[in-house]
Amino acid sequence: MEQHRIRKEGLYVSATAHIPDSIGSGNLSVALIGPDIRLRQTIADEIAAWGSGRIQEFSFYPSVSEGLPKMLAENYDVAIVDIESDPQRALEVVERFCLAGQTTVMVYSSAIDPLMVIRCMQAGAREFLEVPLEPGVMAGALVRVSGRQRETRPTENPAGRSLVFLGVKGGSGTTTLATNFAVSVAQETKQPTLLIDLNLPFGDATLELGLSSEYSTVNALQDWERLDSRLLASYLVKHSSGLSVLAAPAKFIAFKPSNDAIDKLMSVARRNFDNVVVDAGSNLDLTDSALFKEASTVYLVMQFGIPDLRNANRLISQLFPINDPKLEVVINRYSQGSMGNDEEQIVKALGRPADWKVPSDYAAVIELQNSAAALMTKDTQISRVILKMARTSCGLIDVAEKKKGFNLFR
């Protein structure tokens, strides 16, 4: 079948063709990436000889900050990367594609460098192609890609839990609770768990967890119309607990997301993670989105004092129906007897008792924050309450614990 290639801003686009049914590769979209036109031409001709659904040739390595997220959003079935022209940049491309999800990555070169081959395979590349190719090599590689796609074709997942932390005012300790709660959920359930830092613009979730990230929640919200599982995955960092994190920006960015952007982010996140924990800080701008309406549980975080009780009363009366079962009130930094009859004061102010009381242990919190270690790494009164919150939220509480009624610090 005749192929027509059009050059536009460093990009070659091949006309549609099909791999013969006898080969079994089906229709595949291919990103062919490499500055060396001679090597790239050789690979492109081999693909064209057998056919493919869509071939796009890139005469450059995409930038990590902008080019790669846009390329990942195209959801290519296959990425074939030149590792000879610039090995270090090529390896970055390979790693990003492999981290992002379902794209099968191949690499090619005119000479075998065993160390580079090992590094590429460790990053997740599935095929190494030595140019010039032996007859049948490309066809065999495409057949294997097609087979893997049939085996791993995603099915529609039910929406995961959405567990939202909202502080009644700044300084309530919402981020500390949300991050450590998310770590506990990830560890206890062994399920894919995501923490989204929506405490914009000054979220500190990554600081609490000792992480840094090149991308942020703002990237996801700015790209919300193109956002899918692969693009979201490219923005995440991983904690040692197994928790994935979508960080707040490291620098101040004046950005106010639309409700549509928030809703799309949550929709994509919940389709791809069993548990989505959100640190909303005290950001009341989010209350017009579906974030709270569709949440499985909303943890309203406050301290035990007159300003917090007053703010909590206002929020509960305006945002939540009476006796809303998804609302749970969390008293943070709680010291028993600080205001006389604590239970009476709480019920009088909020019209309901608190669901959780997290004890005050300022020294322990500061020590762990300074070391960028999660509170859950040590057995403390605080960590035990957060662990019980996490287990309860995921239905892991046992019968004995149910009978106790969770009156831990009364």
Spell out the alpha helix ranges (H) of 205-305.
205-209, 217-222, 229-234, 259-272
Which pair of tokens denotes residue 328?
Answer: 């749970």
Higher-pLDDT residue of 4 and 335 is 335
As annotated, the residues of the chain forming the CATH 3.40.50.300 domain(s) are 161-404
Contact between residue 146 and residue 26 where contact means Cβ atoms under 8 Å apart: yes
Identify the pLDDT of residue 279: 95
Identify the pLDDT of residue 340: 53
- Decide if pLDDT at 4 tops 60: no
CATH class of the domain comprising 161-404: alpha beta
CA dihedral of 115, 118, 124, 130, whole degrees rounded to 10? 80
Read off the DSSP letter of residue 337. T
Which pair of tokens denotes residue 408?
Answer: 């831990």
Task: State mean pLDDT over 211-215.
Answer: 88
CA-closest candidate to residue 385, choices 410, 346, 359, 364? 359
Numbers of helices and strands, H then E, in the chain: 15, 15
Identify the pLDDT of residue 190: 92
Task: State mean pLDDT over 365-382.
Answer: 66
Identify the pLDDT of residue 274: 94
Spell out the alpha helix ranges (H) of 258-409.
259-272, 306-319, 342-350, 362-370, 381-393, 399-404
104 Ramachandran zone, left/alpha/beta (phi>0; psi -120 to 50): beta
- Tell me the percentage of the chain whose pLDDT exceeds 90: 30
- CATH code matching the domain that covers 5-152, chosen among 2.40.128.20, 3.30.1780.10, 3.40.50.2300, 3.80.10.10: 3.40.50.2300
**The one-letter amino acid at 63:** S
Identify the pLDDT of residue 64: 75
CA-closest candidate to residue 299, choices 159, 162, 158? 162
The H or E element spanning position 327 is strand 327-334
Q: Quote the Cα angle for 238-235-209, to 5°.
A: 35
Read off the DSSP letter of residue 289. S
Q: Does residue 158 sit in helix, strand or coil?
A: coil
Q: What is the pLDDT of residues 183-194, one digit of tens each?
A: 999 999 999 999
Angle, helix 114-123 to helix 87-100, in steps of 10 degrees: 20
Angle, helix 381-393 to helix 174-189, in steps of 10 degrees: 60
Which pair of tokens denotes residue 12?
Answer: 């070659």
Q: What is the pLDDT of residues 116-148, one digit of tens each?
A: 888 888 888 888 999 998 888 888 888 888 766
Antiparallel, parallel or unpaired: β 5-8 and 11-14 = antiparallel
- Decide if pLDDT at 399 tops 50: no
CA-closest candidate to residue 309, choices 368, 266, 349? 349
- Tell me the percentage of the chain whose pLDDT exceeds 70: 81
**Cα–Cα dist 194/178, whole Å:** 11
Query: What separation, in Å, do the N-terminal and C-terminal C-alpha atoms of the chain show?
Result: 78
Contact between residue 91 and residue 110 where contact means Cβ atoms under 8 Å apart: no
| Secondary structure percentages of the chain, helix, strand, coil, to 5 | 40, 20, 40
Q: Does residue 166 sit in helix, strand or coil?
A: strand
- Decide if pLDDT at 296 tops 60: yes
Q: What is the pLDDT of residues 253-265, one digit of tens each?
A: 888 888 899 999 9
**The one-letter amino acid at 349:** A
Identify the pLDDT of residue 79: 92
When the pLDDT of each residue in the chain is averaged and rounded to a whole number, the result is 80
Phi/psi of residue 166, nearest 5 degrees = -130, 125
- Decide if pLDDT at 19 tops 60: no
Task: State mean pLDDT over 216-225.
Answer: 90
Q: What is the pLDDT of residues 96-114, one digit of tens each?
A: 888 776 788 999 999 888 8
As annotated, the residues of the chain forming the CATH 3.40.50.2300 domain(s) are 5-152
**Cα–Cα dist 193/235, whole Å:** 15
- Decide if pLDDT at 25 tops 50: no
Residue 89's CB: how many other CB atoms inside 10 A?
Answer: 19
Local confidence band at 278 (pLDDT 50, 70, 90 cut-offs): very high
- Decide if pLDDT at 16 tops 50: no
Task: State mean pLDDT over 263-269.
Answer: 93
